[in-house]
């Protein structure tokens, strides 16, 4: 099966595949001649006639799509993946990292503000970067290296200063910081990428960097130190690693990320670094990362603002000893799905840690005409200030969800829309149905709120993540630099 198709099924239809046993039961009862009301009563737990009708439609769609086919199900649900305990960017073979507090960052949960990441051998690298028209020279310098196709060995990242909107000095300083890191790491300056995050309009404090970069001690268990060094307003480190089998070799994929504000689709004020010991061909590595970013980091919305410094890097050093992975390899989908898992986990943690947030909002849209339509509608709901304030206030105002879906301007049929809050259905056929208001209010008070919208016009599926909008966010950002 082609790579793109396999990944779509493995990711976008995972929820549909998980629902197959219930759909099978619905179809069995339908074959017996039961009506929706009778089917609803026969299901465990019992559901309403409206919900039974919706399940019948979904089951028929799943049958038409061939999702009951054993070959497809096995292929997409049998990924043998384990999570590494306390994993991160140094979990993959051959990677080490370190960090130090140089005095650049004056606030935050962890004062480390310069981090170094090193591979003991050359890496193939892929990257995605901010699409803001105003870019940090740290972004333009790293993007040039990635686009140039050369191999890299290391990364220097700093927090507290964005190195943006500072004129020509920004590029001069970015080059010097990269050279300082290269000297410390014992590699060429053209083998080091740079990423910066923090306050815009402030130059990199080169005197502090000259003093402290040589003092950084690297270790293969110091991924947490590196994850701390990239934090700004984050309240906790965000890091993960997983292991999979690729062609008889054990491959590790690790990653860390930062970001809790200025987050809007097409990434945000975010940095993310992924490492793997797999041997991966350059174009396939880039395709894999771009696909993963589309489904994860580009589906987060905290405050609707897009940063000048967004950087996502994926470095592959081949230390696992597997045969070179390409788009045509038997294990290409396994690798891509694992990368997708890592970026999705990091994206959720970023949304959970939104500035001032109390609640993670996960929006899923299914039954759209296309996956892109579904992702667009999900982003619209996650970005809606009215939806986010409703979640904060525990107000079951479902009309705001329909409004947000509608303003995405995707093709839909209003009379076929369903809405669920944490599995409690509140809208059927575009209209409110009877539901327990206290139950929905209680659901909106949970740490995670799941808003699901069923469009019932196709098989497109998409997810997006955001958080509630609180007074703390307004207070925090009204005095960010003072």
- Dist. CA 159–CA 141, nearest whole Å: 17
Is the domain of 122 the same as that of 192? yes
Is the domain of 179 the same as that of 242? yes
Is the domain of 11 the same as that of 101? no
Q: What is residue 461's three-state secondary structure? A: strand
- 174: number of CA atoms within 13 Å, CB side? 31
Structural domain harbouring 446: 360-478
Is the domain of 70 the same as that of 98? no
The gap between the terminal CA atoms of the chain, to the nearest Å, is 55
- Dist. CA 23–CA 17, nearest whole Å: 10
- Residues sharing a CB contact under 8 Å with residue 440, sequence separation 6 or more, in sequence order: 396, 421, 424, 426
User: Where is the domain boundary, 352, 378, 399?
Assistant: 352
Is the domain of 317 the same as that of 261? yes
Instruction: For residue 2, count CB atoms less than 10 angstroms from its CB and return exposed for 0-12, middle for 13-18, buried for 19 or more.
Output: exposed
CATH number, position 93:
3.60.70.12
Cross-strand pairs, 432: 427
Catalytic residue, from 269, 308, 359, 364: name it.
269
- Dist. CA 48–CA 31, nearest whole Å: 19
Cross-strand pairs, 199: 161
Instruction: Tell me if residue 232 is catalytic.
Output: no
- Dist. CA 167–CA 169, nearest whole Å: 5
- Dist. CA 188–CA 129, nearest whole Å: 23
Is the domain of 221 the same as that of 365? no
| 480-to-56, 195, 231, 270, 440 alpha-carbon distances in Å | 52, 21, 15, 17, 35
Q: What is residue 282's three-state secondary structure? A: helix
Instruction: For residue 481, count CB atoms less than 10 angstroms from its CB and return exposed for 0-12, middle for 13-18, buried for 19 or more.
Output: exposed
Given a contact cutoff of 8 angstroms between Cβ atoms, the answer to whether 150 and 177 are in contact is no
User: Where is the domain boundary, 322, 352, 382?
Assistant: 352
DSSP letters along 68-129, please? T-HHHHHHHH---EEEPTT--TTSSTTEEEEEE--S---SSS----EEEEEEEEEEEEEEEE
Is the domain of 34 the same as that of 130? no
Is the domain of 206 the same as that of 297? yes
Given a contact cutoff of 8 angstroms between Cβ atoms, the answer to whether 138 and 99 are in contact is no
Is the domain of 187 the same as that of 297? yes
CATH number, position 405:
3.10.20.340
- How would you write the pLDDT of the chain (482 residues) with one tens digit per residue? 334 433 443 444 444 555 666 777 788 888 888 887 788 778 766 777 666 776 776 676 666 555 555 432 233 334 678 999 999 999 999 999 999 999 998 755 457 999 999 999 999 999 999 888 889 999 999 999 999 999 999 999 999 999 999 999 999 999 999 999 999 999 999 999 999 998 899 999 999 999 999 999 999 987 999 999 999 878 889 999 999 999 899 999 999 999 765 444 443 368 999 999 999 999 999 999 999 999 999 999 864 456 789 999 999 999 999 999 999 999 998 999 899 999 999 999 999 887 667 899 999 999 999 999 999 999 999 999 999 999 999 999 999 999 999 999 999 999 999 999 998 999 999 999 999 999 999 999 999 999 999 999 988 899 999 998 876 766 655 555 55
Is the domain of 348 the same as that of 364? no
| Number of helices and strands in the chain (H, E) | 17, 15
User: Where is the domain boundary, 317, 352, 387?
Assistant: 352
Is the domain of 247 the same as that of 119? yes
φ and ψ at 397, to 5 degrees?
Answer: -90, 80
pLDDT at res. 66: 53
Q: Angle 4-6-11 (CA atoms, 0-180°, nearest 5)?
A: 95
Cα dihedral 280→156→90→105 (10° resolution): -140
Strands (E), 130-174: 152-161
The CA R_g of the chain, rounded to the nearest whole Å, is 24
pLDDT at res. 73: 29
Structural domains in the chain (count):
3
Is the domain of 154 the same as that of 210? yes
Instruction: For residue 305, count CB atoms less than 10 angstroms from its CB and return exposed for 0-12, middle for 13-18, buried for 19 or more.
Output: middle
């Amino acid at each position: 099966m082609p790579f793109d198709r396999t990944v779509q099924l493995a990711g976008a239809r995972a929820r549909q595949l998980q629902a197959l046993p219930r759909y099978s039961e619905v179809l069995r009862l339908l074959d017996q001649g039961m009506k929706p009301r009778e089917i609803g009563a026969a299901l465990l737990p019992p559901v309403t006639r409206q919900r039974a009708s919706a399940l019948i439609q979904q089951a028929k769609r799943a049958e038409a799509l061939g999702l009951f086919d054993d070959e497809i199900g096995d292929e997409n649900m049998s990924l043998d993946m384990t999570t590494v305990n306390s994993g991160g960017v140094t979990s993959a073979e051959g990677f080490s990292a370190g960090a130090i507090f140089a005095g650049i960052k004056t606030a935050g949960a962890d004062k480390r503000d310069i981090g170094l990441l090193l591979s003991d051998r050359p890496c193939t690298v892929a990257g995605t970067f901010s699409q803001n028209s105003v870019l940090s020279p740290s972004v333009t310098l790293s993007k040039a290296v990635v686009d140039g196709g050369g191999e890299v060995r290391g990364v220097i990242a700093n927090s507290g200063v964005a190195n943006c909107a500072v004129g020509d000095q920004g590029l001069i300083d970015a080059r010097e910081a990269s050279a300082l890191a290269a000297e410390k790491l014992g590699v060429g300056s053209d083998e080091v990428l740079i990423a910066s995050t923090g306050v815009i309009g402030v130059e990199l404090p080169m005197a502090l960097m000259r003093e402290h970069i040589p003092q950084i001690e690297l270790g293969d268990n110091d991924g947490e130190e590196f994850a701390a060094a990239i934090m700004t307003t984050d309240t906790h480190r965000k890091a993960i690693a997983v292991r999979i089998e690729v062609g008889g070799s054990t491959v590790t994929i690790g990653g860390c990320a930062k970001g809790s504000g200025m987050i809007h689709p097409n990434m945000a004020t975010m940095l993310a670094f992924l490492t793997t010991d797999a041997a991966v061909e350059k174009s396939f590595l880039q395709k894999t990362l771009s696909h993963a970013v589309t489904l994860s980091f580009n589906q987060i919305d905290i405050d609707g603002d897009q940063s000048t410094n967004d950087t996502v890097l994926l470095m592959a050093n081949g230390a696992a000893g597997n045969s070179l992975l390409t788009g045509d390899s038997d294990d290409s989908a396994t690798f891509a799905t694992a990368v997708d898992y890592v970026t999705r986990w990091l994206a959720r943690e970023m949304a959970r840690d939104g500035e001032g947030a109390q609640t993670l909002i996960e929006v899923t849209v299914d039954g759209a005409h296309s996956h892109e339509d579904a992702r667009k509608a999900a982003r619209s709901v996650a970005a809606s200030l009215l939806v986010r304030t409703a979640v904060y206030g525990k107000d079951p105002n479902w009309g705001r969800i329909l409004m947000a879906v509608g303003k995405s301007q995707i093709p839909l049929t209003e009379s076929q829309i369903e809405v669920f809050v944490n599995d409690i259905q509140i809208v059927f056929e575009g209209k409110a149905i009877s539901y327990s208001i206290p139950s929905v209010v209680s659901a909106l008070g949970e740490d995670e709120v799941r808003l699901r919208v069923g469009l019932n016009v196709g098989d497109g599926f998409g997810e997006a993540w955001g958080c509630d909008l609180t007074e703390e966010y307004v207070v925090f950002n009204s005095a960010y630099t003072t």
